[in-house]
Amino acid sequence: MFKKGEFVTIEQIELNGYRIGIPIPFPMKFVYCYLFKHDSHYVLIDVGYNNKRGRAAWEEAFQELNIHPNEIKTIYLTHFHPDHAGLGSWMQQLTGAQLYMHEIDAQMMEHVWGDESRQAENIKEMVLEHGTPLVLADEIERQMELLIDHIRPLPSISIIAKQVEFAGKEWQVIHTPGHSTGHICFYQDEEQILISGDHILDKITPNISVWPGASQTPLHEYINSLHQISQLPVKKALTAHGIPVDHVNKRIDQLLDHHEMRLSAMEEMAHGCTAFEVAEASFAHKELTPHQWRFAIAETIAHLDYLSIENRINKVIGSPIKYQR
């Protein structure tokens, strides 16, 4: 079964589950959420971005599937980013479901999106420290502040166990830090299925960035997490963006190669440069919005800091911070 509605796409998948595409206002166009039957109710993995189109997509999906929202009793979030978690509170109120995520990303939800958050200001300070012009840093801060309306109010969050049940099967909950510090995947060993969130994607590479309040070694953690998943027999990765991945270890090798190529290129660029200057050179072929600049700069910092930790370049603390071969 495949249905394409006005706002939503619905595909029937393994274990009588559904892969539901919820529109998001980013280049990936959709985030794919997963709905599985469990006993007499449903379990939902990820919820989508909180805007009018996202809410309309879910209303359309419930109608197409002939499911009443209160049949969803459990919600799992792979991580705290707004395209995955933004509709958490709305969906929780609609369904009455209990919502679970990893403890680290539950804390990040509050740190980044809570009422006392200073994350937009913290990010502005971070990009300024790395040589970003003030005008662009101000735009990055404003864009970050606009995102807050697409996730507040925050849902009530419970901490996920290391093993859960849905679709009549037991699933391992695997902590895969990198894209976010508390990112999780779900693995079913009998079926050899991985629900990979943003850990493994096809076509695009997950963004691996340094953020205030999160791990300051995300690329080390991401590479370790990829190696961890490569040890599992996986027939298919059900991804959050793009298409599912059938050849998981091949894709993992491609992701590892991508980051080594990016590291080598940035190592060559590090001649007393700031992270902003390296990002500017790395993404010169693209016209970036402030939203995209935020990720480009933070990803560049992650790669340059990785090189520094590995003693391939030196990080020179100053105003601004620079990197030197």
Per-residue pLDDT of 86-138, as tens digits, reads 999 999 999 999 999 999 999 999 999 999 999 999 999 999 999 999 999 99
Whole-number pLDDT of residue 285: 86
Q: How far is CA 156 from CA 83, 91, 99, 213, in A?
A: 18, 11, 7, 21
Give the pLDDT confidence of 199-230 residue by residue, as tens digits. Answer: 999 989 999 999 999 999 999 999 999 999 99
Whole-number pLDDT of residue 5: 75
Give the pLDDT confidence of 246-256 residue by residue, as tens digits. Answer: 999 999 999 99
83: which 2 tokens?
């395209």
- Between 97 and 286, residue with greater pLDDT: 97
Give the pLDDT confidence of 55-79 residue by residue, as tens digits. Answer: 999 999 999 999 999 999 999 999 9
162: which 2 tokens?
């290391």
Instruction: Please compute the mean of the pLDDT values over residues 299-311 and round it to a whole number.
Output: 98
Percent of all residues in the chain with a pLDDT value above 90, rounded to a whole number? 94
Whole-number pLDDT of residue 1: 61
Whole-number pLDDT of residue 203: 85
- C-alpha–C-alpha distance, residues 167 and 30, integer Å: 24
Q: Does residue 175 carry a pLDDT above 90? A: yes
Whole-number pLDDT of residue 129: 98
Q: How far is CA 262 from CA 160, 279, 299, in A?
A: 34, 11, 10
